[in-house]
Amino acid sequence: MNTKFKEKYGPWALVTGASSGIGSQFAIQLARKGLNLVLVARRKERLTNLAQDIEQTFPVKVRTLAVDLTQPDFLKRIKDATSDIDIGLLVSNAGIMYIGSYFDHEPEAEMKMIDLNIKAPAVLTRYFGQKMIDRHRGGLIYTASMLGFMGTPYATTYAATKAYEIAKAEGLAVELKSKGIDVLALNPGLTKTEMTADYDFSAMPMKLMQPDQVVRTALKNLGRKPLASPGFMNNMANWMTKRLMSRKMNTKLFGYFIKKAF
Ligand SMILES: NC(=O)c1ccc[n+]([C@@H]2O[C@H](COP(=O)([O-])OP(=O)(O)OC[C@H]3O[C@@H](n4cnc5c(N)ncnc54)[C@H](OP(=O)(O)O)[C@@H]3O)[C@@H](O)[C@H]2O)c1
Protein backbone atom coordinates (compact mmCIF):
# COMPACT_ATOMS: atom_id res chain seq x y z
CA MET A 1 0.00 0.00 0.00
CA ASN A 2 1.24 3.50 -0.87
CA THR A 3 0.29 5.95 1.92
CA LYS A 4 1.30 9.11 0.05
CA PHE A 5 -0.72 8.11 -3.02
CA LYS A 6 -3.72 7.28 -0.85
CA GLU A 7 -3.52 10.57 1.02
CA LYS A 8 -3.32 12.59 -2.18
CA TYR A 9 -5.86 10.73 -4.33
CA GLY A 10 -8.01 8.80 -1.84
CA PRO A 11 -10.08 7.72 -0.18
CA TRP A 12 -12.14 6.75 -3.27
CA ALA A 13 -11.39 6.56 -7.00
CA LEU A 14 -14.03 6.34 -9.72
CA VAL A 15 -13.00 4.35 -12.80
CA THR A 16 -15.10 4.38 -15.98
CA GLY A 17 -14.81 1.50 -18.43
CA ALA A 18 -13.81 -0.77 -15.55
CA SER A 19 -15.47 -3.91 -16.92
CA SER A 20 -12.52 -4.85 -19.16
CA GLY A 21 -9.07 -4.08 -20.51
CA ILE A 22 -7.24 -0.99 -19.29
CA GLY A 23 -10.07 0.04 -16.92
CA SER A 24 -10.04 -3.30 -15.06
CA GLN A 25 -6.30 -2.90 -14.60
CA PHE A 26 -6.75 0.61 -13.25
CA ALA A 27 -9.16 -0.85 -10.69
CA ILE A 28 -6.74 -3.58 -9.59
CA GLN A 29 -3.69 -1.32 -9.39
CA LEU A 30 -5.55 1.43 -7.52
CA ALA A 31 -6.88 -1.14 -5.03
CA ARG A 32 -3.28 -2.29 -4.53
CA LYS A 33 -2.46 1.32 -3.61
CA GLY A 34 -5.23 1.26 -1.01
CA LEU A 35 -7.99 3.27 -2.73
CA ASN A 36 -11.66 2.34 -2.42
CA LEU A 37 -13.33 2.08 -5.81
CA VAL A 38 -16.46 2.95 -7.74
CA LEU A 39 -16.45 0.84 -10.90
CA VAL A 40 -18.54 2.11 -13.81
CA ALA A 41 -19.45 0.45 -17.14
CA ARG A 42 -22.53 -1.13 -18.74
CA ARG A 43 -21.87 -4.84 -18.08
CA LYS A 44 -23.05 -5.39 -14.51
CA GLU A 45 -21.89 -8.98 -14.09
CA ARG A 46 -18.35 -8.14 -15.15
CA LEU A 47 -18.23 -5.30 -12.64
CA THR A 48 -19.65 -7.45 -9.84
CA ASN A 49 -17.12 -10.23 -10.47
CA LEU A 50 -14.22 -7.78 -10.54
CA ALA A 51 -15.45 -6.08 -7.37
CA GLN A 52 -15.63 -9.45 -5.56
CA ASP A 53 -12.12 -10.41 -6.70
CA ILE A 54 -10.71 -7.07 -5.57
CA GLU A 55 -12.44 -7.10 -2.18
CA GLN A 56 -11.15 -10.65 -1.56
CA THR A 57 -7.60 -9.62 -2.43
CA PHE A 58 -7.16 -6.08 -1.05
CA PRO A 59 -8.44 -4.33 2.11
CA VAL A 60 -10.63 -1.85 0.19
CA LYS A 61 -14.34 -1.27 -0.46
CA VAL A 62 -15.74 -1.50 -3.98
CA ARG A 63 -19.03 -0.18 -5.38
CA THR A 64 -20.29 -0.97 -8.86
CA LEU A 65 -22.57 1.04 -11.10
CA ALA A 66 -23.91 -0.36 -14.36
CA VAL A 67 -24.57 2.73 -16.42
CA ASP A 68 -24.37 3.75 -20.08
CA LEU A 69 -22.29 6.93 -20.25
CA THR A 70 -23.92 7.96 -23.51
CA GLN A 71 -27.38 8.20 -21.92
CA PRO A 72 -28.72 11.53 -20.62
CA ASP A 73 -29.27 10.25 -17.06
CA PHE A 74 -25.72 9.07 -16.49
CA LEU A 75 -24.54 11.95 -14.27
CA LYS A 76 -27.60 11.73 -12.04
CA ARG A 77 -26.98 7.99 -11.59
CA ILE A 78 -23.32 8.60 -10.75
CA LYS A 79 -24.20 11.45 -8.36
CA ASP A 80 -26.73 9.24 -6.56
CA ALA A 81 -24.21 6.41 -6.22
CA THR A 82 -21.41 8.63 -4.86
CA SER A 83 -23.19 11.33 -2.82
CA ASP A 84 -21.94 9.91 0.52
CA ILE A 85 -18.29 9.32 -0.45
CA ASP A 86 -15.25 11.43 -1.27
CA ILE A 87 -13.85 10.81 -4.77
CA GLY A 88 -10.22 11.94 -4.90
CA LEU A 89 -9.32 10.41 -8.25
CA LEU A 90 -11.33 10.28 -11.48
CA VAL A 91 -10.10 7.82 -14.08
CA SER A 92 -12.03 8.69 -17.21
CA ASN A 93 -11.15 5.65 -19.26
CA ALA A 94 -14.29 4.33 -21.03
CA GLY A 95 -14.01 4.73 -24.77
CA ILE A 96 -14.98 3.22 -28.10
CA MET A 97 -13.18 3.21 -31.41
CA TYR A 98 -14.56 2.76 -34.91
CA ILE A 99 -12.04 2.08 -37.62
CA GLY A 100 -12.82 2.36 -41.34
CA SER A 101 -13.64 4.94 -43.96
CA TYR A 102 -15.36 7.94 -42.38
CA PHE A 103 -18.51 7.82 -44.55
CA ASP A 104 -18.93 4.05 -44.13
CA HIS A 105 -20.06 4.59 -40.54
CA GLU A 106 -23.58 5.62 -39.65
CA PRO A 107 -23.73 9.17 -38.25
CA GLU A 108 -25.20 7.73 -35.03
CA ALA A 109 -22.01 5.73 -34.47
CA GLU A 110 -19.90 8.86 -34.74
CA MET A 111 -22.18 10.80 -32.35
CA LYS A 112 -22.02 7.94 -29.85
CA MET A 113 -18.23 7.99 -29.97
CA ILE A 114 -18.24 11.74 -29.38
CA ASP A 115 -20.70 11.33 -26.48
CA LEU A 116 -18.58 8.65 -24.80
CA ASN A 117 -15.05 9.83 -25.61
CA ILE A 118 -15.60 13.59 -25.21
CA LYS A 119 -18.90 14.52 -23.59
CA ALA A 120 -18.91 12.02 -20.71
CA PRO A 121 -15.34 12.90 -19.59
CA ALA A 122 -16.22 16.60 -19.79
CA VAL A 123 -19.35 16.16 -17.66
CA LEU A 124 -17.48 14.04 -15.10
CA THR A 125 -14.57 16.49 -14.98
CA ARG A 126 -16.91 19.38 -14.16
CA TYR A 127 -18.67 17.45 -11.40
CA PHE A 128 -15.74 15.74 -9.68
CA GLY A 129 -13.15 18.41 -10.61
CA GLN A 130 -15.13 21.09 -8.78
CA LYS A 131 -15.31 18.90 -5.66
CA MET A 132 -11.54 18.36 -5.85
CA ILE A 133 -10.98 22.12 -6.14
CA ASP A 134 -13.12 22.63 -3.01
CA ARG A 135 -11.03 20.13 -0.99
CA HIS A 136 -7.77 21.31 -2.62
CA ARG A 137 -6.44 17.94 -3.71
CA GLY A 138 -7.11 15.17 -6.20
CA GLY A 139 -6.28 13.69 -9.57
CA LEU A 140 -7.83 13.47 -13.03
CA ILE A 141 -6.66 10.77 -15.44
CA TYR A 142 -7.92 10.54 -19.02
CA THR A 143 -7.17 7.53 -21.18
CA ALA A 144 -6.43 9.19 -24.52
CA SER A 145 -4.33 7.51 -27.24
CA MET A 146 -1.17 7.82 -29.24
CA LEU A 147 -3.48 8.41 -32.22
CA GLY A 148 -4.51 11.70 -30.62
CA PHE A 149 -1.12 13.21 -31.43
CA MET A 150 -2.10 13.65 -35.09
CA GLY A 151 -4.93 13.37 -37.58
CA THR A 152 -5.33 9.67 -38.34
CA PRO A 153 -7.09 8.54 -41.52
CA TYR A 154 -9.52 5.61 -41.08
CA ALA A 155 -9.69 6.38 -37.37
CA THR A 156 -10.49 10.02 -38.04
CA THR A 157 -13.12 10.78 -35.41
CA TYR A 158 -11.54 8.49 -32.83
CA ALA A 159 -8.18 10.26 -33.17
CA ALA A 160 -9.93 13.63 -32.96
CA THR A 161 -11.68 12.62 -29.72
CA LYS A 162 -8.34 11.60 -28.25
CA ALA A 163 -6.69 14.86 -29.40
CA TYR A 164 -9.36 16.62 -27.35
CA GLU A 165 -8.39 14.62 -24.26
CA ILE A 166 -4.69 15.36 -24.74
CA ALA A 167 -5.18 19.11 -25.20
CA LYS A 168 -7.60 19.21 -22.30
CA ALA A 169 -5.21 17.43 -19.94
CA GLU A 170 -2.35 19.74 -20.91
CA GLY A 171 -4.46 22.83 -20.30
CA LEU A 172 -6.08 21.63 -17.09
CA ALA A 173 -2.76 20.44 -15.66
CA VAL A 174 -1.55 24.04 -15.65
CA GLU A 175 -4.86 25.56 -14.51
CA LEU A 176 -5.30 23.13 -11.61
CA LYS A 177 -1.72 22.79 -10.35
CA SER A 178 -2.11 25.61 -7.83
CA LYS A 179 -5.36 23.99 -6.64
CA GLY A 180 -3.57 20.77 -5.69
CA ILE A 181 -4.98 18.68 -8.53
CA ASP A 182 -2.81 16.54 -10.80
CA VAL A 183 -3.97 15.91 -14.37
CA LEU A 184 -2.71 13.25 -16.76
CA ALA A 185 -3.58 12.08 -20.26
CA LEU A 186 -2.42 8.51 -20.71
CA ASN A 187 -1.61 7.85 -24.37
CA PRO A 188 -1.37 4.14 -25.01
CA GLY A 189 -0.31 2.66 -28.29
CA LEU A 190 -1.74 -0.69 -29.30
CA THR A 191 -2.88 -2.59 -26.23
CA LYS A 192 -4.26 -6.13 -26.01
CA THR A 193 -7.90 -5.58 -25.01
CA GLU A 194 -11.38 -6.20 -26.40
CA MET A 195 -11.01 -2.98 -28.39
CA THR A 196 -8.21 -4.33 -30.56
CA ALA A 197 -9.39 -7.96 -30.67
CA ASP A 198 -11.31 -7.70 -33.95
CA TYR A 199 -8.56 -6.03 -35.98
CA ASP A 200 -5.30 -7.28 -37.45
CA PHE A 201 -2.57 -4.84 -36.46
CA SER A 202 0.29 -7.14 -37.48
CA ALA A 203 1.53 -4.62 -40.09
CA MET A 204 2.20 -2.04 -37.35
CA PRO A 205 5.84 -1.83 -36.27
CA MET A 206 4.79 -1.61 -32.58
CA LYS A 207 3.57 -4.76 -30.85
CA LEU A 208 0.51 -4.85 -28.60
CA MET A 209 1.21 -4.05 -24.96
CA GLN A 210 -0.52 -5.60 -21.95
CA PRO A 211 -3.00 -3.39 -20.02
CA ASP A 212 -1.11 -3.81 -16.72
CA GLN A 213 2.04 -2.22 -18.23
CA VAL A 214 -0.03 0.64 -19.63
CA VAL A 215 -1.66 1.40 -16.28
CA ARG A 216 1.66 1.23 -14.39
CA THR A 217 2.91 4.02 -16.66
CA ALA A 218 -0.11 6.17 -15.82
CA LEU A 219 0.16 5.75 -12.06
CA LYS A 220 3.92 6.31 -12.10
CA ASN A 221 3.54 9.60 -13.98
CA LEU A 222 0.47 11.09 -12.32
CA GLY A 223 1.67 14.29 -10.62
CA ARG A 224 4.95 14.31 -12.58
CA LYS A 225 3.83 15.35 -16.06
CA PRO A 226 0.58 15.91 -17.99
CA LEU A 227 1.17 13.35 -20.78
CA ALA A 228 2.47 9.80 -20.50
CA SER A 229 3.00 7.20 -23.21
CA PRO A 230 3.63 3.61 -22.20
CA GLY A 231 6.29 1.43 -23.82
CA PHE A 232 9.77 2.01 -25.21
CA MET A 233 8.69 1.43 -28.84
CA ASN A 234 5.74 3.84 -28.58
CA ASN A 235 7.96 6.53 -27.08
CA MET A 236 10.54 5.92 -29.78
CA ALA A 237 7.81 6.22 -32.44
CA ASN A 238 6.52 9.46 -30.82
CA TRP A 239 10.04 10.88 -30.81
CA MET A 240 10.81 9.86 -34.40
CA THR A 241 7.52 11.09 -35.81
CA LYS A 242 7.89 14.45 -34.05
CA ARG A 243 11.56 15.05 -34.80
CA LEU A 244 12.18 13.30 -38.11
CA MET A 245 8.89 13.57 -39.99
CA SER A 246 6.45 16.28 -40.97
CA ARG A 247 2.97 16.14 -39.43
CA LYS A 248 1.55 15.47 -42.88
CA MET A 249 3.86 12.50 -43.43
CA ASN A 250 3.08 11.20 -39.97
CA THR A 251 -0.66 11.32 -40.66
CA LYS A 252 -0.22 9.45 -43.94
CA LEU A 253 1.96 6.80 -42.33
CA PHE A 254 -0.50 6.07 -39.50
CA GLY A 255 -3.36 6.02 -42.01
CA TYR A 256 -1.46 3.44 -44.05
CA PHE A 257 -1.09 1.14 -41.03
CA ILE A 258 -4.67 1.60 -39.80
CA LYS A 259 -6.05 0.83 -43.28
CA LYS A 260 -4.25 -2.50 -43.21
CA ALA A 261 -5.95 -3.42 -39.92
CA PHE A 262 -9.56 -3.68 -41.18
N1 LIG B 1 -6.65 -0.99 -26.69
C2 LIG B 1 -5.91 -0.07 -27.29
O3 LIG B 1 -5.07 -0.37 -28.18
C4 LIG B 1 -6.03 1.37 -26.87
C5 LIG B 1 -5.04 2.26 -27.34
C6 LIG B 1 -5.14 3.59 -26.97
C7 LIG B 1 -6.17 4.03 -26.17
N8 LIG B 1 -7.12 3.13 -25.74
C9 LIG B 1 -8.21 3.67 -24.90
O10 LIG B 1 -8.26 2.94 -23.68
C11 LIG B 1 -9.55 3.05 -23.11
C12 LIG B 1 -10.00 1.68 -22.62
O13 LIG B 1 -10.13 0.83 -23.75
P14 LIG B 1 -9.67 -0.69 -23.75
O15 LIG B 1 -8.58 -0.82 -24.74
O16 LIG B 1 -9.46 -1.16 -22.36
O17 LIG B 1 -10.93 -1.36 -24.42
P18 LIG B 1 -12.14 -2.23 -23.84
O19 LIG B 1 -11.60 -3.44 -23.17
O20 LIG B 1 -13.07 -2.37 -24.98
O21 LIG B 1 -12.77 -1.29 -22.70
C22 LIG B 1 -13.68 -0.27 -22.98
C23 LIG B 1 -14.45 0.00 -21.71
O24 LIG B 1 -15.38 1.07 -21.96
C25 LIG B 1 -16.67 0.66 -21.49
N26 LIG B 1 -17.73 1.27 -22.26
C27 LIG B 1 -17.94 1.19 -23.61
N28 LIG B 1 -19.05 1.84 -23.96
C29 LIG B 1 -19.57 2.35 -22.81
C30 LIG B 1 -20.72 3.12 -22.51
N31 LIG B 1 -21.58 3.50 -23.46
N32 LIG B 1 -20.97 3.46 -21.22
C33 LIG B 1 -20.12 3.06 -20.23
N34 LIG B 1 -19.01 2.36 -20.46
C35 LIG B 1 -18.74 2.00 -21.73
C36 LIG B 1 -16.66 -0.86 -21.67
O37 LIG B 1 -17.57 -1.48 -20.77
P38 LIG B 1 -19.06 -1.99 -21.11
O39 LIG B 1 -19.01 -2.59 -22.49
O40 LIG B 1 -19.30 -2.97 -20.03
O41 LIG B 1 -19.91 -0.78 -21.01
C42 LIG B 1 -15.24 -1.19 -21.26
O43 LIG B 1 -15.15 -1.32 -19.87
C44 LIG B 1 -10.44 3.66 -24.21
O45 LIG B 1 -10.68 5.01 -23.93
C46 LIG B 1 -9.60 3.52 -25.46
O47 LIG B 1 -9.91 4.49 -26.42
C48 LIG B 1 -7.07 1.82 -26.06
Structural domain spans, the chain: 3-261
CA dist., res. 60 & res. 24, Å (int): 15
- 206 ligand 1 Cβ < 6 A: no
CA dist., res. 149 & res. 251, Å (int): 9
Residue 158 among the catalytic residues = yes
pLDDT, position 110: 97
Distances (CA, A) of 160 to 82, 113, 195, 232: 31, 10, 17, 24
Given ligand 1 and candidates 42, 117, 187, which is best to mutate, with the most ligand atoms within 8 Å of its CB? Answer: 42
Query: Model pTM?
Result: 0.97
Alpha helices in 115-203 (DSSP H): 120-135, 156-177
pLDDT, position 241: 83
pLDDT, position 156: 98
Q: Which atom of ligand 1 is nearest to the CA of 22?
A: 16
pLDDT, position 1: 61
The CATH superfamily assigned to 3-261 is: NAD(P)-binding Rossmann-like Domain (3.40.50.720)
pLDDT, position 206: 83
pLDDT, position 203: 87
Ligand 1 center to residue 29 CA distance, Å?
17
- 129 ligand 1 Cβ < 6 A: no
Q: Produce one character per residue of 229-243: b if its CB has 16 or more CB atoms within 10 Å, e if not.
A: bbbeebbebbeebee
CA dist., res. 152 & res. 178, Å (int): 35
Q: Are 255 and 194 in contact (CB under 8 A)?
A: no
Ligand 1 center to residue 114 CA distance, Å?
13
Given ligand 1 and candidates 14, 19, 40, 199, which is best to mutate, with the most ligand atoms within 8 Å of its CB? Answer: 19
Of 9, 142, 154, 158, catalytic: 158
Distances (CA, A) of 147 to 150, 250, 258: 6, 11, 10
262 residues of the chain, pLDDT tens digit each: 678 999 999 999 999 999 999 999 999 999 999 999 999 999 999 999 999 999 999 999 999 999 999 999 999 999 999 999 999 999 999 999 999 999 999 999 999 999 999 999 999 999 999 999 999 999 999 999 999 999 999 999 999 999 999 999 999 999 999 999 999 999 999 999 999 999 999 888 888 999 999 999 999 999 999 999 999 989 988 888 888 888 899 999 999 999 999 9
CA dist., res. 78 & res. 29, Å (int): 22
